[in-house]
């Protein structure tokens, strides 16, 4: 689950802020399962429990960024019989310090402790090489006993190292960077499985938000009156779902599928009807 601001949906004449949409994205099915609109990004925290109430998420794993590391959100996910994996940052200072201190202890032994498991993978994308190591451990007793984070079983750390691909033809090479993030989860501390969910969370950015911006030019839309921005945002997500689920034009990009649908009534019907 993640939010996206429709950057040009503001209206200075009426002092209306840009619309913010919170979407639930299925990384496996590549479809948008639902969305809720808010007037401000800060309202995203209260919107997520409302969105969860609309969805059947039993048996699913819900991934969220640090803004949603909230006790109410975690409790709602567990009430709906789903698991969670949530990034932890300093907006939850005590939790952050607890998790960080545990991995500092593991780091003193170069993460060789039997209590700490790791999964390493290397990816080559868009002119860069990325090494990612996901470390997981059982949540410490002190964290479980507080009862503040429902059914927490796992704490984790993700180390990312990025550098330019020496074989890339990009004129501006990717700068070298290192990044560490922490998370908590109700999943068991199985490094490979957890690493898959950590990676799949970025699908909402790459497959939903990026496509809405680049292919549907959502951020450029100046529709800003009444419920217009919200309705169009919902229609874009429905259209994207239809295009992604279409199998009649397998080798076409989303952009090209839209063009073909505009050129040919037959192609349009095939895409909509899924034939």
DSSP state of 264: -
Gap between the Cα atoms of 207 and 4, Å rounded: 13
Predicted pLDDT at 247: 81
Give me the long-range contacts of 237-242 (CB less than 8 A, separation at least 24). 237/23, 237/32, 237/35, 237/208, 237/212, 238/32, 240/32, 240/208, 240/211, 240/212, 240/215, 240/216, 241/31, 241/32, 242/271, 242/272
What average pLDDT does range 236-251 have in this prediction? Answer: 86
Strand 83-88 and strand 61-64: the pairing is parallel
CB 164 within 8 A of CB 173: yes
CA distances from 40 to 7, 22, 115, 163, 204 (A): 11, 11, 42, 35, 20
What average pLDDT does range 67-87 have in this prediction? Answer: 97
> Which of 75, 77, 35, 74 minimizes the C-alpha distance to 57?
77
- State pLDDT tens for residues 18-60: 899 999 999 999 899 999 998 766 688 999 999 999 999 999 9
CB 220 within 8 A of CB 188: no
Q: Quick check: helix, strand or coil at residue 88?
A: strand
Predicted pLDDT at 251: 79
Predicted pLDDT at 85: 98
């Amino acid at each position: 689950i993640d939010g996206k601001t429709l950057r040009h949906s503001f209206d200075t004449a009426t002092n209306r802020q840009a619309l913010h949409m919170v979407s639930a994205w299925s990384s496996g099915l590549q479809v948008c399962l639902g969305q809720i609109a808010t007037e401000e990004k800060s309202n995203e925290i209260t919107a997520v429990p409302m969105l969860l109430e609309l969805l059947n998420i039993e048996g699913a794993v819900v991934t969220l960024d640090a803004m949603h590391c909230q006790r109410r959100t975690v409790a709602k996910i567990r009430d709906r019989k789903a698991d969670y994996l949530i990034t932890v940052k300093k907006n939850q200072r005590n939790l952050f310090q607890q998790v960080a201190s545990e991995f500092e202890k593991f780091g003193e032994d170069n993460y060789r402790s039997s209590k700490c498991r790791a999964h390493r993978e290397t990816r080559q994308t868009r002119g860069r090489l990325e090494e990612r190591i996901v470390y997981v451990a059982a949540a410490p007793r002190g964290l479980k006993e507080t009862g503040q984070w429902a059914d927490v079983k796992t704490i984790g750390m993700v180390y990312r190292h990025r550098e330019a691909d020496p074989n890339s033809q990009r004129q501006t090479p990717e700068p070298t960077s290192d990044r560490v993030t922490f998370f908590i989860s109700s999943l068991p501390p199985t490094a490979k499985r957890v690493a898959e969910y950590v990676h799949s969370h970025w699908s909402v950015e790459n497959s939903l938000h990026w496509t809405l911006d680049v292919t549907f030019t959502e951020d450029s839309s100046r529709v800003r009156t009444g419920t217009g921005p919200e309705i169009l945002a919902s229609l874009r997500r429905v259209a994207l779902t239809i295009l992604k689920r279409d199998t009649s034009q397998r080798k076409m990009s989303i952009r090209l599928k839209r063009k073909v649908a505009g050129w040919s009534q037959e192609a349009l019907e095939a895409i909509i009807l899924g034939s």
